[in-house]
Amino acid sequence: MIFTVAIDGPAAAGKGTISRAVAAQFGFAHLDTGLLYRAVGIKGGDPVQAARSLCDADLARGDLRTLGAGQAASVVAALPDVRAALTDFQRQFARRTGGAVLDGRDIGTVICPEAEMKIFVTASAEIRAHRRWLELGGDAAPQSIADVLAQVVERDARDTNRADAPLRPAAGALMLDTSDMDIDTAVDRATAAVMAQMRQKL
């Protein structure tokens, strides 16, 4: 069975957690496409060459979840040649037999517009900044919550205003606002929606 779930949304909205849970629930393969861009951004050098030469070791680096890697990812993701270099890999992953869940910022709009299920996960910038700040250690974090919020807002602007594949909900996507939702509820809603769509396709 080929069944693609495309999950998009801004940073710290919960799409990664939801994507992993959905993949586990249905036994689908999972790809966090943001890691591809993080790896390219933090690798340094010519970003297009970095994208073309990505290997498993690059995706296994321990610093891919840092704020610096996230900022670097947002910068290189705005480069059309970098996006083109990574597109084929993502599309092949998405259409593998056995089902796949991909999360990112342009999965439902650009990478997999034919995905059987599209979900757009979002939350307010303030909520997302607070979540990211807690991930960084809360009061022990190296940055204040105000600084994290400023970075979230800056990244949102860059991701939504870039000329190539801007962040936006795909047509027909299920909108999932997690601002006032715990993760279990968000996962349950996403899982139920995928299940309903799978039943229609079978």
Whether residue 15 is annotated as binding a ligand: the answer is yes
Whether residue 14 is annotated as binding a ligand: the answer is yes
Whether residue 170 is annotated as binding a ligand: the answer is no
CA 42 to chain centre: 17
Whether residue 11 is annotated as binding a ligand: the answer is yes
In the numeric block, which tokens belong to residue 10? 């801004």
The answer to whether residues 41 and 156 touch, using CB atoms and an 8 Å cutoff, is no
Whether residue 43 is annotated as binding a ligand: the answer is no
Whether residue 17 is annotated as binding a ligand: the answer is yes
Using alpha carbons, select from 169, 190, 71 the residue that is nearest to residue 122.
169
**What DSSP letter does each residue of 79-148 carry, written as one string?**
-HHHHHHHHHHHHHHHT-TT-EEEEESSIIIII-TT-SEEEEEE--HHHHHHHHHHHTTGGGSSS-HHHH
Output DSSP code: residue 157. H
The answer to whether residues 98 and 1 touch, using CB atoms and an 8 Å cutoff, is yes
Whether residue 12 is annotated as binding a ligand: the answer is yes
Residue 27: how many other CB atoms lie within 10 Å: 8
**Torsion angles phi and psi, residue 101, rounded to 5:** -120, 125
Using alpha carbons, select from 37, 35, 42, 40 the residue that is nearest to residue 20.
35
In the annotated binding site, the residues are 9-17
In the annotated binding site for ATP, the residues are 9-17
